[in-house]
Amino acid sequence: MVIIAFEGKTDKEFLNSLLDTYELPHNEVTYFNFEGKDNILNVSHSYYDEIEKNYINKIDNMLIVVDADNRADPNPNRGYEASEIALNQLIADLGFDVKIQYHIMCDENREGHLESFLLSVLNEEQKECFKKFKECYTF
């Protein structure tokens, strides 16, 4: 069993589609939607208590998924490097006796979020289509 902790409301749908693509069983994954990066980085969040109490002896791995966001944001946990430091500190502070990994969603410049990551894997022709679409619907 694996726990996947994430910060955004659309992340679960994306992660489920990855499971489908790689034909991995959904029943071996338990999701926790922390509803925000600051919540996921809070070692005192009640979900971590729940994980420790009810799941820690049942899981093999835990994955934490966050957005890199923009490093220019004044919040100290924004940007790829700041996110990486905060996640490593969180994992150390949790002290769970399971393997915990993380993934920081970003574009090729190590900024952004899930949508940036998805756009970064498109080829130039596909990116141009999105650019034209955005131009048509920008008010």
Domains of the chain: 2-137 (3.40.50)
Find the mean pLDDT for residues 44-62: 96
State the pLDDT at residue 139. 54
Amino acid letter at 99?
K
Q: Count of alpha carbons within 13 Å of 118, Cβ hemisphere only? A: 10
| Contact call for residues 29 and 5 (beta carbons, < 8 A) | no
Strand, coil or helix: 81: helix
- What pTM, to 2 d.p., does this model score? 0.80
Find the mean pLDDT for residues 88-105: 95
pLDDT class of 115 with cuts at 50, 70, 90: low
**Residues comprising the chain, all counted:** 139
State the pLDDT at residue 14. 83
**Is a pLDDT exceeding 80 seen at residue 85?**
yes
